[in-house]
Amino acid sequence: MKKLSVTEKTKVKRLPKRAFYDFETISKILDDTFICHIGFVIDDQPFVIPTCYGRKEDKIYFHGSVGSRMLMHIKKDSGICLTVTNVDGIVLARSAFHHSINYRSVVIIGKAEEINKPDEKAETLKVITDHIISGRWDDVRKPNEKELKQTSVFSIKIDQASAKIREGGPVDEENDMNLNVWAGVLPLKIVSGNPVRDTVLKENIYLPDYIKNYK
Amino acid sequence: MKKLSVTEKTKVKRLPKRAFYDFETISKILDDTFICHIGFVIDDQPFVIPTCYGRKEDKIYFHGSVGSRMLMHIKKDSGICLTVTNVDGIVLARSAFHHSINYRSVVIIGKAEEINKPDEKAETLKVITDHIISGRWDDVRKPNEKELKQTSVFSIKIDQASAKIREGGPVDEENDMNLNVWAGVLPLKIVSGNPVRDTVLKENIYLPDYIKNYK
C-alpha cells in the first residue's frame, strides 16, 4: 500500500486516529464523488469555490472557462487547497456534545499546473467527464479547437494529501447511557432520480445504460 | 426583498445571470444543507476544511474542539470564506463542452467572531444542532460547563455574500441539435436511509418523529 509522506501542512492534528495517508484510501474517497472545493488566496483573502473534477492515477484534473476568476488567479498563484467531502450520516448521541457527522474527506495541498497542449487538454476533459458519469465521453461530440481555447485545464498531484474518516455509532459518556434518548446514526447518501429528457430531444433516442444505471 | 450590497469580493464575475445577492435566495440555499467548506490562510497557504453549521437570521454559526487547528487559527486571523454547495444534477449535453452541473451555492466572505459567553455558546449550539436535525436539541442532554469549555463557537454575518444557481436542461449549439446523443438532466439528491439504532440502546426507546420524517 502506497503511503504518502506526511508534512506539517497535511498532518491531521485533531483526532489523529481518524486520519489516513495511504493512496488507496484517499483515491477511493476521491472516486466516490465529483465535486471539490478549491481554496485560493487573493490579497490575503481566502476564497472557496466548488467545481467538478476527475481523477486519473495520482492526478486530480479540474477545468473551467478561461474567464473564471479562480482559474485566472491560479495561473498566477498556483498554491491551492482542494478538498473533497462525502457525508455518510448524522451521528445522534445521547448528549448534545457527542453529536457528530459520519464523513470521508480528503484535503490536497499543492501547486496547480496548467495543461496547455490541446491534445492533453482533450484527454483531461475525457477524464473529468468520465469521472462524473462513466462512459459519457464516447457518446458526445468532442471539443473543437475553439472550445478547447475557451477552456482552462489544471492538474494537481495527489502527493501532499490526507484523508479523514469518521464512521460508526455515537460514543457517549458512561453517565449518559441510561438516558431515555434515541441514539444511533441516520445514514445519508446521494441518489439519482429519474433522468429528465431535454424537451427538444429527438424522439428515437433512448436513454443509455450508463445513465440508467448511474451510481 | 432584502438585497445585500455587492462588493468586489462577492461579485460573481463569470455568468452573472446565475448570480443572486438577495438574502432570501441565499438563506434558502443555506437552510437546505448543513455542511460548509471554510477557507482560511496560514503562511500564504490556503486550507479548506469541511464542517457543519447552523443559520439563525443573518448569522452562520460553526463550532469545534478548542484544539482544532482551524479554529485556533481563526481566533488569530479571522478572515475566512465560508462556502455551501447543493448539487442538484448532472446536465448532459450533446457536446462535451456544454456539459454542466445543476447546483445552488453560496459564498460568504467576512470576519469570524468568537462567541465566549457560556449561555450564548449553548444557544448557538442549539442553533447548529436543530439546523442539522430540527427538534433534536430538546431531546438530548445539554452541554455542561466542562463541555462548553472544550468547544469553540464562531459566527459569521451573512453580509458579504453571493449565491450562484444553475438550473434547467442543457444548452447546446444549434449545429449539434441533430446529433444522436441523449441529452437532459440526471437529477441528484441527498436522501436519508433507515436509522441505525446504537447497538447498546435501551429497548424501550422508540425512534422520534423528527428522525423518522427527516428531510
pLDDT digits 0-9 by tens, A108-141: 999 999 999 999 999 999 999 999 999 999 999 9
pLDDT tens for residues B59-95?
999 999 999 999 999 999 999 999 999 999 999 999 9
**Cβ <8 Å between B192 and A187:** yes
**Cβ <8 Å between B129 and A96:** yes
**Cβ <8 Å between A188 and B188:** no
Averaged pLDDT for residues B7-31: 87
Query: Model pTM greater than 0.90?
Result: yes
User: What pLDDT was estimated at residue A84?
Assistant: 98
Residue A127, C-alpha cell as written in the block? 477524464
User: What pLDDT was estimated at residue B213?
Assistant: 93
CB nearest to A184's CB, from B85, B140, B197:
B197
pLDDT for residue A11 is more than 90: no
Q: Collect all residues of chain A within an 8 Å Cβ-Cβ radius of residue B143.
A: 95-97
Q: What is the dihedral angle through the alpha carbons of B105, B109, B115, B121, rounded to the nearest 10 degrees?
A: 0
Between the alpha carbon of residue A172 and those of residues A74, A98, A141, B141, B198, the distances in Å are 44, 6, 55, 11, 10
Q: Is A195 on the interface with B (CB under 8 A)?
A: yes
Residue A3, C-alpha cell as written in the block? 503511503
Q: Which of A192, A93, A101, A115 is nearest to B64 (CA)?
A: A101
pLDDT for residue B215 is more than 90: no
User: What is the DSSP track for A140-190?
Assistant: SBPP-HHHHHTEEEEEEES-EEEEEEE-SS----GGGTTSS---EEEEEEE
Q: Which of B73, B62, B69 is nearest to B115 (CA)?
A: B62
Q: Phi/psi of residue B126, each to 5°?
A: -60, -45
Q: CB-side exposure of A98: number of CA atoms within 13 Å?
A: 20
User: What pLDDT was estimated at residue B9?
Assistant: 80
pLDDT for residue A2 is more than 80: no
pLDDT for residue B134 is more than 60: yes
CB nearest to A182's CB, from B96, B178, B211:
B211
What 3-state class would DSSP assign to B69?
helix
pLDDT-derived band of residue B43, with 50, 70 and 90 as boundaries?
very high
The Cα–Cα gap between B100 and B185 comes to: 9
The Cα–Cα gap between B146 and B159 comes to: 33
User: What pLDDT was estimated at residue A1?
Assistant: 56
User: What pLDDT was estimated at residue B1?
Assistant: 56
pLDDT tens for residues B152-184?
999 999 999 999 999 999 999 999 999 999 999
CB nearest to B96's CB, from A109, A143, A188:
A143
Strand A35-42 with A100-111, pairing = unpaired
* DSSP 8-state class, residue B66: T
Averaged pLDDT for residues A15-30: 92
**Cβ <8 Å between B181 and A140:** yes
**Cβ <8 Å between B46 and A183:** no
pLDDT for residue A10 is more than 90: no
User: What pLDDT was estimated at residue B48?
Assistant: 98
**Cβ <8 Å between A141 and B49:** no
Count CB atoms within 10 A of the CB of residue A163: 26
What 3-state class would DSSP assign to A34?
coil
Q: Which of B51, B165, B48 is nearest to B101 (CA)?
A: B165
**Cβ <8 Å between B188 and A183:** no
Handedness of CA A74, A75, A79, A81 (dihedral sign): positive
| Terminal-residue alpha carbon distance, chain A | 27
Q: Which percentage of chain B shows pLDDT scores above 90? A: 90
Count CB atoms within 10 A of the CB of residue B86: 20
| Terminal-residue alpha carbon distance, chain B | 27
**Cβ <8 Å between B101 and A194:** no
Helices (H) and strands (E) in chain B — how many of each? Answer: 6, 11
pLDDT-derived band of residue A6, with 50, 70 and 90 as boundaries?
confident
A positions 25-44 inside 8 Å of B (CB): 35, 37-41, 44
Residue B81, C-alpha cell as written in the block? 470564506
Q: Collect all residues of chain A within an 8 Å Cβ-Cβ radius of residue B130.
A: none
Count CB atoms within 10 A of the CB of residue A50: 19
The Cα–Cα gap between A150 and B139 comes to: 54
Q: Is A178 on the interface with B (CB under 8 A)?
A: yes
The Cα–Cα gap between B49 and A81 comes to: 9
pLDDT tens for residues A151-181?
999 999 999 999 999 999 999 999 999 999 9
How close B154 comes to chain A (CA, Å)?
16
Q: Which percentage of chain B shows pLDDT scores above 70? A: 99
pLDDT-derived band of residue B14, with 50, 70 and 90 as boundaries?
confident
The Cα–Cα gap between B161 and B21 comes to: 7
Q: Is B65 on the interface with A (CB under 8 A)?
A: yes
Q: Which residues, in sequence order, are CB contacts of B174 under 8 Å at separation 6+?
A: none
Averaged pLDDT for residues A175-201: 97
Count CB atoms within 10 A of the CB of residue A180: 9
pLDDT for residue A85 is more than 80: yes
Domains of chain B: 16-189 (2.30.110.10)
B positions 115-154 inside 8 Å of A (CB): 125-126, 129, 132-133, 136-137, 139-143, 147, 150-151
